[in-house]
């Protein structure tokens, strides 16, 4: 039945609705199945399930290398046990290596060159530094209690870590692999984003109703920008339970998913002004902005729908896109014509056509049990 629906949907689309690919082009979406110890691989070109790959126990996060044809899966392991990172060869879609890390890893961040990965070990209060070419850990950096998320600044200088249990944000100097600063006063720090010019980071304080804006240290530049030290610039009032941040690609605005207020808040990144809050569905937990900076897609965990917000118009578009139960992670295809929505409770992936007016459901694809994260990798063979 599902296969028949997918064929009908494909046949109903006009040729110009989808990109035209050359024979050597490959694109896959990788979804971690936390309760199946597997990764589901989806062929984005043909919009179908490709295969399911066994990885380690309790996979919780996934990231694609920007320069190598590899994908990295964080395996949380058993409770209080050692975790690992599975390296998937994207050309063969097989596990090529497994790298041991530490207790209960939950997230991963890669540097812009795809040379090093930084694994967040929530049970060890540390960051594992992985040399991706050598496929081994080269350092372990201590951070705050129960770290939950990390990001590398676009200039490759700073690693920003949200310490959920420590109610703080750690700023790590990547060159020396030392903690440069610790910013206290962010209850339940759960997510971070960094502006494209690496001047500022924002942290979601999920235990309260605020977002912390932090200026990042930098030296004086030829363009006239003066030197500055790390410092908290502002605490911004948003909705209750801000759990995730979505940054516009141009860096102009940050959108906050307020899980306990059923809303999103819009922050102007340069001025730290909170433009307002807008009602979404029940328990918004994930936001994603389109590449053209025009639309924000919001996954609502308890509404079984994705709501679409027009950034320019400042309002929702339509009643919401019905997906599966528990939408909790999302990713665009490389061309941006499809949005993949991971439905944790119904164990499936909804595929949304973003070029429709308004965006609309295209098809549903099965996943393993407890899917929870997604990454997309595109490349050409040869």
Residue 78 and residue 105: Cα distance in Å, rounded? Answer: 11
DSSP H/E element including 169: strand 168-173
DSSP state, 283? Answer: S
Residue 17 has pLDDT above 70, yes or no: no
Residue 189 has pLDDT above 70, yes or no: yes
Residue 223 has pLDDT above 90, yes or no: no
Read off the tokens for 126. 């540390």
The strand pairing partners of 361, in sequence order, are: 352
Q: Which has the minimum average pLDDT: 18-22, 117-121, 136-140?
A: 18-22
What's residue 267's pLDDT?
98
What's residue 15's pLDDT?
46
Residue 102 and residue 92: Cα distance in Å, rounded? Answer: 28
73-86 average pLDDT score? 91
pLDDT cut 90: percent of the chain above it: 88
77-103 average pLDDT score? 94
Q: Which DSSP string do the residues of 196-246 spell out, in sequence order?
A: TTSSEEEEEETTTTEEEEEEPPB---TTSPPPB--EEEEEEE--SSEEEEE
Residue 8 has pLDDT above 50, yes or no: no
118-137 average pLDDT score? 98
Residue 367 and residue 349: Cα distance in Å, rounded? Answer: 6
Query: Residue 288: which of 280, 277, 297 has the closest Cα?
Result: 297
Residue 358: cis peptide before it, omega within 30 degrees of 0: yes
Contact between residue 186 and residue 212 where contact means Cβ atoms under 8 Å apart: yes
Residue 40 and residue 190: Cα distance in Å, rounded? Answer: 26
Query: Residue 107: which of 376, 382, 377, 375 has the closest Cα?
Result: 375
Query: Residue 83: which of 128, 138, 146 has the closest Cα?
Result: 128
48-61 average pLDDT score? 97
Reduced to 3 states, what is the DSSP secondary structure of residue 48?
strand
CA angle, 123 as apex, 118 and 124 as ends, to 5°?
65
Model pTM score: 0.93
DSSP H/E element including 119: strand 116-121
What's residue 218's pLDDT?
75
Composition of the chain by helix, strand, coil, percent to 5: 5, 55, 40
Residue 1 has pLDDT above 70, yes or no: no
pLDDT tier at 69, thresholds 50, 70, 90 = very high
Residue 360 and residue 338: Cα distance in Å, rounded? Answer: 10
Phi/psi-derived region of residue 333, left when phi > 0, alpha when psi is between -120 and 50, beta in every other case: beta
Reduced to 3 states, what is the DSSP secondary structure of residue 168?
strand
Residue 203 has pLDDT above 90, yes or no: yes
Residue 6 has pLDDT above 50, yes or no: no
Residue 228 has pLDDT above 60, yes or no: yes
251-262 average pLDDT score? 98
Residue 148 and residue 162: Cα distance in Å, rounded? Answer: 6
**pLDDT of 318-369, one tens digit each?**
889 999 999 999 999 999 999 999 999 999 999 999 998 899 999 999 999 9
Residue 18 and residue 26: Cα distance in Å, rounded? Answer: 15
135-153 average pLDDT score? 98
4-29 average pLDDT score? 68
What's residue 80's pLDDT?
73
Q: Which has the minimum average pLDDT: 157-166, 201-210, 211-220, 246-255?
A: 211-220
DSSP H/E element including 327: strand 327-332
Residue 7 has pLDDT above 70, yes or no: no
């Amino acid at each position: 039945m599902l296969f028949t629906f997918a064929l009908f949907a494909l046949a109903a689309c006009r040729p110009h609705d989808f990109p035209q690919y050359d024979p050597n082009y490959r694109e896959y979406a990788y979804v971690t199945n936390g309760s199946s110890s597997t990764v589901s691989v989806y062929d984005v070109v043909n919009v179908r399930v490709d295969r399911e790959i066994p990885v380690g126990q309790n996979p919780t996060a996934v990231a694609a290398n920007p320069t190598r044809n590899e994908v990295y899966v964080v395996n949380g392991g058993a409770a209080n046990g050692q975790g690992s990172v599975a390296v998937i060869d994207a050309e063969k879609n097989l596990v090529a290596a497994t790298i041991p890390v530490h207790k209960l890893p939950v997230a991963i961040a890669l540097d812009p060159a795809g040379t090093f990965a930084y694994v967040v070990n929530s049970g060890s209060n540390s960051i594992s530094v992985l040399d991706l070419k050598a496929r081994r850990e080269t350092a372990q950096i201590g951070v705050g209690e129960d770290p939950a998320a990390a990001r590398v600044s676009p200039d490759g200088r700073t690693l920003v870590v949200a310490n959920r249990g420590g109610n703080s944000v750690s700023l790590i100097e990547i060159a020396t692999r030392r903690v440069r600063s610790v910013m206290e006063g962010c209850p339940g720090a759960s997510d971070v984003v960094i502006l494209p010019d690496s001047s500022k980071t924002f942290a979601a304080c999920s235990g309260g109703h605020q977002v912390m804006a932090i200026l990042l240290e930098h030296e004086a530049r030829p363009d006239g920008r003066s030197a500055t030290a790390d410092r908290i610039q502002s605490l911004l009032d948003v909705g209750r339970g801000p759990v995730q941040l979505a940054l516009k690609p141009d860096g102009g605005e940050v959108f906050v998913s307020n899980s306990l207020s059923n809303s999103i808040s819009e922050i102007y990144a340069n001025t730290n002004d909170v433009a307002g809050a807008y009602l979404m569905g029940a328990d918004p937990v994930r936001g994603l902005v389109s590449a053209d900076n025009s639309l924000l897609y919001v996954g609502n965990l308890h509404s079984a729908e994705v709501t679409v917000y027009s950034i320019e118009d400042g309002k929702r578009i339509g009643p919401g896109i019905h997906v599966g139960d528990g939408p909790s992670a999302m990713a665009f295809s490389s061309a941006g014509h499809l949005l993949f929505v991971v439905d944790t409770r119904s164990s499936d992936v909804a595929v949304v056509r973003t070029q429709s007016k308004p965006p609309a459901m295209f098809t549903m694809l099965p996943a393993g049990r407890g899917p929870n994260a997604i990454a997309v990798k595109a490349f050409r063979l040869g």
